[in-house]
Amino acid sequence: MGGINIPESVKRGIEQVKQGKLVLIYDAEDREGETDFVIPASSVTPSEVAYFRNTAGGLICIAIHPIAAERLGLPLVSDILINVNDNFAFLRRLVEGEGDLSYDKRSSFSLWVNHRDTFTGITDRDRALTLRKICEAVDKVLNGDDKDTTYTFHTEFRTPGHVSILRAADRLLDERRGQTELSVALALLAGISPAMVICEMLDNETGGALHKTNAKAFASERDIIFIEGKEIIAAFQAVFG
């Protein structure tokens, strides 16, 4: 990235995620206005899952690259519901699209899964295993000449489960600028597997999302890198055009 103007917070965030460490990403005031815990899925541990649920408090998800999702056969859940047969036609009414999402046109949810080696799937140990194995699956179908074109997702995973997979938009930040796309973009900037564990920071006092000011203070007190979504967007456009 020599000669390319990358915001300092993004440079430091890249170094952190390369080491498998936690960063905080704030999307934008005109979106959800939320800060997420973000960590690479490749080496997530049960203790990190526990930290996410106890300290961040939101939904623990894994955001993956759209090409990986396509090759793994993981559509958006909204696309699944739109295409149900007539026996379940009423389910189509559940799909967003009537303008009731105030922050975006659609969500990024794909399937909820457990790895087949888990027990209930909800424990920190089980979720950590599922998250790591999803990352391995992403690597299998993305890695250059060695990508596995015979891999089938159902051999390792079942649904319903306790880990939510988020499918990034096909054109990434050119199409959508949610936490899903921002975290995948950061992974691409870092040159690591585009499979990132994310979780919203919630506020126990207000019952809402943790305010940006408080999230920044949390990061500063713990020497965690705080990155603005707009900074990732600027870096991604500078590097990838």
**CATH code of residue 16:** 3.90.870.10
pLDDT tens column, 120-172: 999 999 999 999 999 999 999 998 666 777 789 999 999 999 999 999 999 99
Which candidate in 26, 32, 48, 61 is catalytic?
61
Q: Is residue 229 part of a domain?
A: yes
Residues forming beta bridges with residue 169, ordered by sequence position: none
Q: Which domain holds residue 163?
A: 8-240
> What pLDDT is attached to residue 145?
63
Q: Is 145 domain-assigned? A: yes
Whether 48 is covered by a domain: the verdict is yes
Q: Is residue 2 part of a domain?
A: no
205 has pLDDT over 60: yes
| 3 domain-assigned | no
Residue-wise pLDDT tens digits, 94-119: 886 655 677 777 789 999 999 999 99
C-alpha 162, offset from chain centre: 15
Active site residue 135: no
Confidence of residue 87 (pLDDT cuts 50, 70, 90): confident
Instruction: Identify the pLDDT of residue 102.
Output: 72
The whole-angstrom separation of Cα 130 and Cα 62 is 10
Active site residue 211: no
Assess whether 61 carries a catalytic annotation. Answer: yes
Residue 231 maps to a domain: yes
Does residue 184 contact residue 196 with C-beta atoms inside 8 Å?
yes
DSSP 68-85: HHHHHT---HHHHHHT--
Chain mean pLDDT for the chain:
93
Of the residues 51, 139, 151, 162, only one is catalytic, namely: 162
Q: Does residue 87 form part of some domain?
A: yes
Return the half-sphere exposure (C-beta side, CA atoms, 13 A cut-off) of residue 116: 6
Q: Is 103 assigned a catalytic role?
A: yes
Model confidence at 91, in pLDDT bands (50, 70, 90)?
A: confident
Which candidate in 26, 27, 32, 114 is catalytic? 114
Total number of domains constituting the chain: 1
Q: Is residue 1 part of a domain?
A: no
Record the tokens describing residue 60, joined without a space: 């623990």
As a whole number of angstroms, the distance between CA 123 and CA 120 comes to: 7
**Angle at which helices 229-240 and 8-18 pack, to 10 degrees?**
80
Mind listing the pLDDT tens digit for each residue in 176-185?
999 999 999 9
Specify whether 115 is catalytic: no
Q: Between β-strands 61-64 and 195-200, what pairing exists: parallel, antiparallel or unpaired? A: antiparallel
Q: Is the pLDDT of residue 26 over 70?
A: yes
Q: Which residue of the set 15, 103, 117, 203 is catalytic?
A: 103
